[in-house]
Structure formats: C-alpha cells, structure tokens
C-alpha cells in the first residue's frame, strides 16, 4: 500500500515572511493521513525545517550538485541539503533541464549524490507539447526514466513525478486518460527494471497545474499517488485543499 504524497515546489519564491504559510499549513494538518513535503528555495530550507519542527511536514531541496563539495560557485550539494534538515530533493525538473541544460546523465549523477546523502529523490519526467503532438510521449518518458534514475534506488528513496512541460504553470492539464496512460507506463517500466517490490512501492506523482478544483479527479486516476504542485503550493489554503483531496 503506497502512502499518498503531496509535494510543493516553491521554485524561486519565498522570503522568511512566507514561513507564515508553513505555520498555517501545519496547523491545518496536525496528523495528516498523507505525507506532505515542501521544497522551498535553498535559503529557506533551514528556517522552514525549524518552522516545521514537531509537525509532519517534510522539507526538501529543489536541486543538488553531483559532487559532495568543491569549487562550484553558487551550487548546493546533497550533504548540505541533508545538513540543513532536508529529507528530499527534486531532481530533473523541466525548468532545470531547460534553463540549466540538464540532461538525463546529469540528473542520474545528482540522484546518486542524493542517495549517498540519504535523501529521497523526486525525479521529474515529462514531454514537451511538440513531443506529445508527435505521439512521442511514451518514448520520451521511457528515455528519461532509464537515463535519469540510478540503479541503487529503493521504493522508499525514489519518487517519480510526471510533469508534462506544457502543463506546468499554464492552467492546462492532460485528460485523465492521458495522465493514466503515462502513470501506468511508468509503473510498468519501474516494475520491469527494478522488479515488483520496488516497482510497485515507488510513488508516482502527477504535476502540472494541479489546483484545489482539479485535484480530486486527478488523484482518482490509477497509479497517481499524489501531486507535485508549483503555484498552488505557495498559499497554505490552496495547498491544504489539495492535501485534503488526496
């Protein structure tokens, strides 16, 4: 039985004053029946961990470097995230793949570093609109899965987020059938590569314009174990409604 997971990605948003949203969120969900994760910018990880103390909220990073330390100005390593109190890290988000020219092999190297630091990897995959229009969605997702996910994962240390690039921040979502088709495909590929134990216990999140209004119908789709939420995770009231829909 996979426990549901609501994960929020604050992207490059959030100042210390916004930690008030964390207080509101944890007050609204003192004993959640689902797992809740927020991934703020690196500057807010330690303060958010402090703000979430005593609650069920987990805190994660949005990226990490593949090296543990060294001459990499501006980067943050996986051991640094863990040292700040993070338990998870998002890797391979399409904004990183696009803005920082990250490819599957970079994501895989980062995931290996994250696993070595004891972090749970939330690895993102997703097709562009042109790839979907060309009926290449499953080929693209299959390549991202085999290229980005390292061999050493377990059902606990891996979460896969399916995020169609064209649905992120656009207000557009795939049909429920399209979401189900991709999630079933990801489950099948994980089972084939890692066996039924890891394949069936890995949680699969849908991401891309999840809102309180569409959360329940998306969560009812087969093999959807939760959501990776961008914009709607910034406000405790919206994120809370999504958690409640899980």
Compute, in degrees rounded to 10, the torsion defined by CA atoms 143, 148, 150, 154. -90
Q: Which of 5, 149, 218, 228 binds ligand PEP (CB under 6 A)?
A: 228
Q: Is 136 flagged in the annotation as binding?
A: no
33, 169, 195, 197: which one contacts ligand PEP (CB under 6 A)?
169
State yes or no: 11 annotated in a binding site: yes
Give the integer Cα–Cα distance in Å for 19 and 51: 7
- Residue 208 as a binder of ligand PEP (CB under 6 A): the answer is yes
Question: How far apart are alpha carbons 12 and 155 in whole angstroms?
Answer: 29
Rounded to the nearest whole angstrom, what is the least distance from the CB of residue 167 to ligand PEP in the complex? 6
Give the binding range for ligand PEP (CB under 6 A) out of 73-81, 106-114, 181-189, 207-215: 207-215
Q: Is 207 in the site for ligand PEP (CB under 6 A)?
A: yes
Does position 242 bind ligand PEP by CB under 6 A? Answer: no
Residue 174's contacts (CB-CB under 8 Å, 6 or more residues apart) are: 164, 167, 182, 208
Range 5-44, binding ligand PEP (CB under 6 A): 9
231 is in an annotated binding site: yes
209 makes contact with ligand PEP (CB under 6 A): yes
Sequential DSSP letters for 37-80: EEE--GGGHHHHHHHTTTSSEEEEES--BSSSSSS-TT--BHHH
Report the alpha-carbon distance of residue 244 to residue 150 in Å, rounded: 33
What is the SS3 assignment for 89? strand
The region of 12-20, 28-36, 55-63, 224-232 touching ligand PEP under the rule CB under 6 A is 224-232
Residues in contact with ligand PEP by CB under 6 A are 9, 163, 168-169, 207-210, 228-232
């Amino acid at each position: 039985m996979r426990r549901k997971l609501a994960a929020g990605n604050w992207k490059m948003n959030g100042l210390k004053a916004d930690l008030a949203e964390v207080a509101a969120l944890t007050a609204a969900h003192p004993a959640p029946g689902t797992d809740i994760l927020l991934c703020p910018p690196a500057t807010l990880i330690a303060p958010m961990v402090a703000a979430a103390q005593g609650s069920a909220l987990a805190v994660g990073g949005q990226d990490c470097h593949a090296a543990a330390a060294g001459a990499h100005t501006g980067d943050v390593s996986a051991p640094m995230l863990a040292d700040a109190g993070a338990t998870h890290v998002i890797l391979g988000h399409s904004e990183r793949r696009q803005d920082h020219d990250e490819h599957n092999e970079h994501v895989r190297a980062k995931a290996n570093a994250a696993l070595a630091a004891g972090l749970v990897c939330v690895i993102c995959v997703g097709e562009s609109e042109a790839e979907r229009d060309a009926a290449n969605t499953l080929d693209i997702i299959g390549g991202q899965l085999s290229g980005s996910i390292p061999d050493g994962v377990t059902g606990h240390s891996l979460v896969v987020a399916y995020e169609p690039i064209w649905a992120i921040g656009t207000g557009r979502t795939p049909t429920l059938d399209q979401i189900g088709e991709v999630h079933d495909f990801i489950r099948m590929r994980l089972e084939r590569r890692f066996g039924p134990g890891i394949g069936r216990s890995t949680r699969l999140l849908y991401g891309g314009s999840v809102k309180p209004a569409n959360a329940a119908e998306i969560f009812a789709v087969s093999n959807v174990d939760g959501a990776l939420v961008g914009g709607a995770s910034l406000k405790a009231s919206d994120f809370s409604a999504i958690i409640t829909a899980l």
